[in-house]
Amino acid sequence: MIAQLFAGAALALGAWLVLRRGRGGLSWMALDFAPVLALGCAALALTARPILSGVLVAALLLALAMVDRAKRAALGEGLVFTDHALLPLVARHPSLYLPFLPRNAVPLGVAGFAALLAGLTAMEPAHAVPRLLLAAGAILLVLLLRRAEVFATPSGDPDTDAARFGPLATLALHRAVAARERPARQAALLPTPATLRGVVPHLVLVQCESFCDPRRFAGLPATALPHWDRLRAAALAHGTLAVPGFGANTMRTEFGVLSGVPDAALGLDRFNPYASFARRPVHGLAHALAGHRSGVLHPFDRRFFGRDAVMPCLGFTAFDAAEAFADAPRVGAHVADAALGARVVAQLRAATGPVFLFAITMQAHGPWPGADGEAQWLGHLADTDRMLGAIADAAAGLDRPLVLAAYGDHRPALPAARGGQDTDFLVWRSDRAAQVAARALDTAALHRAVLAALDEIRELGDSHV
């Protein structure tokens, strides 16, 4: 059994070194290795087979290394501690994630691992191991890792901390620090109503999937966005929007615009505010606009990013998701932007009082099939442009003014869009045209700009509190 223990330990150690790739100082190796030891103890307690346990641990660590590498290649960012919340999404919607991994890596890896697992289970006999002691050791290590912040103080930057502590230690440290700080940060961001003066308009806030003006990028064919240009020319505010990610992580931008909360106020929960932070009531536009009937329209799985739990905490009282668009036309893999825009217009026309509709598009979501992904993306942008024009045109028949705000959640994960993280935004009001210079905002400032457009008196720089 001693030989099998050494063999299993060698497998786990080798995979851990692959994951580390030289990251982490020697003084913190114990903290970085603690999760590996906990996994090894748990696997051995369950299987009583040392080599099989080593294979299980090694497979998990190598999978983490592969995902970290793929995420860096596609998004310029490695694994962060909140990525565990995305695992159910990969299982439910693999077409949104697996294409970014190496071709055939998943099916070949799963098939090979299953064959190896079956072979080892048949060939390696179970040994007499102290199962209870091993399980107790795994539990103790997990409890210590949940308090990892008592051993070290991270900087909060994943790459800096991984270089100092190691990747697994960084995940444990960030999780522990976020959990400790979260209650106080949440308590500082309780829902706050806004005071609007003058005629209260409708508000339509459109989060446009992978939207940014392609005319800013070299090497792309000329693309007409006539409705965007028309609205921008009369907008109360427009320009570039600094978003907290490239190519993905929509929930970061979404929460920033809805809540008006800057990243600094979120601490480490900024990596995914929907994973834990926004699972209790926190300030949002829907809370601020308490006199509006508020609703979310998103033609996709309401559970994606946990929006089914988060949107009520942000003050929304209705949510039209995939089931409400079951018969809607599609363009490519997703519901057409035109269908989403038509539902927005229908709800505006049926309103008997002021409404706030938050529309989240899906049509332009990657990956984009075919040899020319950029051409696919540009075609989707043209449809998004027409949808925005249709919503704006509907303002003429409404019982009150309409504020239409639109922004891109992130740039598309395409070569032409690399080199920055900004997208584009505009805030337009049907009864108040303006000619203003473009400006650069972040998500919290866009939140304030939307509130300013709703108020007859408020200035753009005013806070929501």
Query: Which of 51-55, 106-110, 323-327 holds the top average pLDDT?
Result: 323-327
pLDDT of residue 193: 86
For the cut 80, the answer to whether the pLDDT of residue 257 exceeds it is: yes
Closest CA to 439 of 255, 250, 232, 210: 232
Average pLDDT over residues 223-232: 94
- Residue-wise pLDDT for 292-338, tens only, equals 999 999 999 999 999 999 999 999 999 999 999 999 999 999 999 99
Q: What is the 3-state secondary structure (H, E, C) of the chain?
A: CHHHHHHHHHHHHHHHHHHHCCCCCHHHHHHHHHHHHHHHHHHHHHHCCHHHHHHHHHHHHHHHHHHHHHHHHHHCCCCCHHHHHHHHHHHHCHHHCHHHCCCCHHHHHHHHHHHHHHHHHHHCCCCCCCHHHHHHHHHHHHHHHHCHHHCCCCCCCHHHHHHHHCHHHHHHHHHHHHHHHHHHHHHCCCCCCCCCCCCCCEEEEEEECCCCCHHHCCCCCCCCCHHHHHHHHCCCEEEEEECCCCCCCHHHHHHHHHHCCCHHHCHHHHHCCCCCHHHCCCCCHHHHCCCCEEEEECCCCCCHHHHHHHHHHCCCCCEECHHHHCCCCEECCEECHHHHHHHHHHHHHHCCCCEEEEEECCCCCCCCCCCCHHHHHHHHHHHHHHHHHHHHHHHHHCCCCEEEEEEECCCCCCHHHCCCCEEEEEEEECCCCCCCCCEEEEHHHHHHHHHHHHCCCCCCCCCCC
* pLDDT-based confidence at residue 424 (cuts at 50, 70, 90): very high
pTM: 0.92
- Residue-wise pLDDT for 147-190, tens only, equals 999 999 999 999 999 999 999 999 999 999 999 999 999 999 99
For the cut 80, the answer to whether the pLDDT of residue 287 exceeds it is: yes
- Residue-wise pLDDT for 361-386, tens only, equals 999 999 988 788 999 999 999 999 99
* pLDDT-based confidence at residue 109 (cuts at 50, 70, 90): low
* pLDDT-based confidence at residue 103 (cuts at 50, 70, 90): low
Identify which has the larger pLDDT, 208 or 26.
208
Domains of the chain and any CATH numbers = 2-186 (no CATH), 202-454 (3.40.720.10)
How many whole angstroms separate alpha carbon 331 and alpha carbon 212? 19
In the chain, pLDDT over 90 holds for what percent of residues? 78
Instruction: Identify residue 401 by its one-letter amino acid code.
Output: P
